[in-house]
C-alpha cells in the first residue's frame, strides 16, 4: 500500500526527479507483491496497478513521456506482457536520462566513491554482464559492450570515477539494447540503480561546496533635491525672471 511518506519522496525537487523517485516506490511495491504472491492470477492485477500509479504520477507532474500509454483493461490482458515490457523500457530509459541530467557537475568531472558504493556498482555491472553474456546478441556487439563494461569497472576502481566514462557506459548500453529490446530489457534495472548511486554521490559532493558569493548590488543613484534659495523658496530657472 502506498503511504503518505512514500509521496514525500517527490517533495522539493524538479518534476522529472520527483517522477523517478515515485516510480521507484511503485516498482518496489510491485516487485514485493509479486515475490510474496503465490497466486499467478494476481500478476495481472499488480502489473496494472503499477502502470496505473506510474501513469498518474507522470500526468500529475505534467510529464508527457507516457502519453501514448493507457491503463490496461483487467478484462482484456492478452497483450499485457508486451505492453508492460514496452512501458518499462520507456520508463527505464527516461529514468537513466533524468539521473544524468540531475548530476550537477561542479569544478570536477569525476566523483570519489566509498568502497561500499563501489561494491554495489560492481555487483550491478556483474548482473548486466550476466544478462548480456547469456543473450543471443551478435558476438561483435556483445564483445563491444563487454569491453565498455570492463572499462567502466576499471574506472570505478580508481580513486575518482570519470563522469564521462559513466555516460559512455550508459550510451553504449542504450544503443545495444535497441537491437535486442526484449532480451536485454532487464539490464536497465541495474543501470538505473547505478545511476542512482552516481546521483546521490554527486549531491553529497555538491553539499560540501561553499555557497556561491552573494551578489552585491550597486547603490542606486539618487536624484539630488532641488537647491533652495536663501529665503527658503525653490530655485527657479533664470529665464523665469525675464518678462519677454
- Calculate mean pLDDT across residues 61-85: 89
The answer to whether residues 182 and 168 touch, using CB atoms and an 8 Å cutoff, is no
Exposed, middle or buried by CB within 10 Å (0-12, 13-18, 19+), for 33?
A: middle
**Which element (helix H / strand E) includes 111?**
strand 110-111
The residue whose grid cell reads 536624484 is 223
Within the chain, where are the H helices? 4-7, 15-36, 42-60, 80-101, 115-133, 139-156, 163-177, 181-184, 187-208
pLDDT at 238 over 60: no
Q: How many angstroms separate the CA atoms of 166 and 95, rounded? A: 15
Residues 6+ apart with CB under 8 A from 202: 103, 104, 105, 111
Question: Are 26 and 72 contacting, i.e. CB atoms less than 8 angstroms apart?
Answer: no
H helix or E strand, kind and range, residue 162: strand 161-162
With a pLDDT cut of 70, the percent of the chain lying above it is: 77
Q: What is the mean pLDDT of the chain?
A: 79
Strands 161-162 and 110-111: antiparallel
CA distance 70 to 90: 14
Tens digit of each residue's pLDDT (9 = 90 or more) over 155-187:
898 888 888 788 888 888 887 776 666 778 889
181 contacts 174 by C-beta, under 8 angstroms? no
Residue 42 · residue 61 · CB < 8 Å: no
pTM equals: 0.49
pLDDT at res. 159: 83
Percentage of the residues of the chain whose pLDDT score is greater than 90: 20
Q: What 3-state DSSP class applies to 227?
A: coil
**Do 111 and 161 form a contact (C-beta atoms < 8 A)?**
yes
pLDDT higher than threshold 50 for residue 236: no
Q: Contact at 8 Å (CB) between 176 and 211?
A: no
Amino acid at each position: 500500500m502506498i503511504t503518505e511518506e512514500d509521496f514525500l519522496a517527490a517533495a522539493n525537487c524538479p518534476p522529472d526527479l520527483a517522477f523517478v523517485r515515485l516510480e521507484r516506490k511503485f516498482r518496489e511495491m510491485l516487485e514485493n507483491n509479486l515475490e510474496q504472491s503465490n497466486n499467478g492470477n494476481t500478476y495481472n492485477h499488480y502489473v496494472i496497478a503499477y502502470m496505473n500509479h506510474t501513469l498518474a504520477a507522470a500526468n500529475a507532474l505534467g510529464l508527457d513521456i507516457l502519453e501514448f500509454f493507457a491503463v490496461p483493461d483487467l478484462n482484456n490482458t492478452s497483450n499485457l506482457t508486451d505492453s508492460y515490457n514496452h512501458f518499462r523500457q520507456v520508463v527505464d530509459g527516461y529514468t537513466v536520462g533524468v539521473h544524468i541530467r540531475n548530476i550537477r557537475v561542479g569544478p570536477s568531472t569525476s566523483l570519489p566513491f566509498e568502497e561500499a558504493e563501489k561494491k554495489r556498482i560492481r555487483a550491478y555491472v556483474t548482473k548486466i554482464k550476466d544478462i548480456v553474456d547469456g543473450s543471443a546478441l551478435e558476438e561483435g556487439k556483445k564483445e563491444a559492450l563487454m569491453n565498455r563494461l570492463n572499462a567502466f569497472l576499471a574506472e570505478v576502481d580508481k580513486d575518482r570515477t570519470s563522469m564521462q566514462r559513466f555516460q559512455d557506459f550508459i550510451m553504449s548500453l542504450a544503443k545495444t539494447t535497441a537491437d535486442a529490446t526484449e532480451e536485454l530489457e532487464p539490464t536497465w534495472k541495474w543501470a538505473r540503480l547505478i545511476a542512482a548511486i552516481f546521483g546521490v554521490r554527486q549531491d553529497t559532493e555538491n553539499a560540501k561546496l561553499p555557497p556561491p558569493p552573494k551578489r552585491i548590488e550597486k547603490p542606486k543613484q539618487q536624484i539630488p533635491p532641488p537647491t533652495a534659495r536663501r529665503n527658503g523658496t525653490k530655485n527657479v530657472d533664470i529665464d523665469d525672471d525675464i518678462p519677454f
